[in-house]
Amino acid sequence: MFSFQSLSAVVLLACLAFTSLVLGVADVSIAGLFQGDEHAYTIFVVSRLPRLIAIILAGAGLSVAGLIMQQIVQNRFASPSTVGTIDCALFGYVMGLIFLGGASQWAHLGFIFTFSVAGTLLFVQFLQRLKFKNAVLVPLIGIMYGNVISALTTFIAYKFDLVQTMSSWTTANFASVLQGNYEILYLAIPACLLAYFFAQQFSAASVGESFAKNIGLNYQKIVFIGVMLVAVSSSAVVMIVGVIPFLGLIVPNVVSLFMGDNMKRILPWTAYWGVVLVLACDILGRVIIFPYEMPISMIISIFGGALFIYLVLRDRANA
């Protein structure tokens, strides 16, 4: 039996999903679909439905990835966009364009995934050797690390005349999502399920390496699994949609503020609110300058940047 909270969550998601399906330049009505309108059916199947599915998978995947990152790094301000994971994924994307050319999507994804894992592990290993882990210091170091990777990526893009191609991926937009070019995002489903399966181990790792070893947990193995799951979700989103900043930072923090820090309990709600946030921002981006679209990354950056500042100030006030 659904609680009122669960019922409200389902209704909210259903309303946003329905709005996303019917909103657009082309007039597609649900009545037309049931009446057999072929034009409406084509737009719905080829564009609207794939876009909705991509939004759901990207929102849930990146939000859960942020939650995992915060657990294994032991810092509430860690996320794929503040520890260099996204920047490494973009670096892998550019390198894939250079060395793989017109290879399949899966080949490019493998390249992006490899760079994401390697870059994130490098940062995590550096943090483990860092004695002073101030809450604000970790994301600042991560942002600087990401900027170095980003600068290297831009340099290589200039050298191989890929700047314009790379720029299109630095601004996330779901407008280009069509049937047949987004299915890699389904990797977010097993990533989220595995994150839920390992939730208790991630929670134990978040207490510290000594505690994890005392209860018989292989700390380095859990960290590696966490990095792999974060890299899978981040790589898929970067390749299909582009860079969505702050999503993995703000959603887990807001959920934990209201529901506590039990990862197994808050993980489904983190995925849910990630989907709701991306859906709401995507709808907003489609109506602000209708019939044109504003990239979703711009809207989330505004909300995410403001909330990040609030969380930093709140953390200092409660220190």
Residue-wise pLDDT for 22-56, tens only, equals 887 777 767 777 777 787 788 888 889 999 999 99
CB distance 307 to 250 below 8 Å: yes
pLDDT at 185: 92
pLDDT band at 283 (very low <50, low <70, confident <90, very high): very high
Percent of the chain clearing pLDDT 90 (strictly above): 29
Model confidence over 141-189: pLDDT tens digits? 888 999 999 999 989 988 888 887 777 777 778 888 888 888 889 999 9
pLDDT at 126: 85
pLDDT at 60: 95
Give the lowest-confidence range in 69-73, 124-128, 193-197, 246-250.
124-128
Helices (H), the chain: 4-22, 30-34, 38-43, 49-73, 85-99, 105-128, 137-159, 163-170, 188-197, 199-207, 209-214, 219-240, 247-259, 263-287, 296-317
pLDDT at 307: 80
Helix 263-287 with 4-22: angle, nearest 10 deg = 30
Q: Which helix (H) or strand (E) holds 129?
A: none
Model confidence over 53-102: pLDDT tens digits? 999 999 999 999 999 999 988 888 888 888 888 889 889 888 888 888 77
Nearest in space to 267 (alpha carbons), one of 223, 203, 216, 314: 203
Tell me the C-alpha distance between 188 and 274, whole Å.
13
pLDDT at 273: 94
pTM of the model: 0.89
pLDDT at 1: 47
Model confidence over 210-254: pLDDT tens digits? 887 788 888 888 989 999 999 999 888 888 888 888 888 889 999
CB distance 240 to 54 below 8 Å: yes
pLDDT at 131: 63
pLDDT at 175: 83
pLDDT at 64: 95
pLDDT at 241: 86
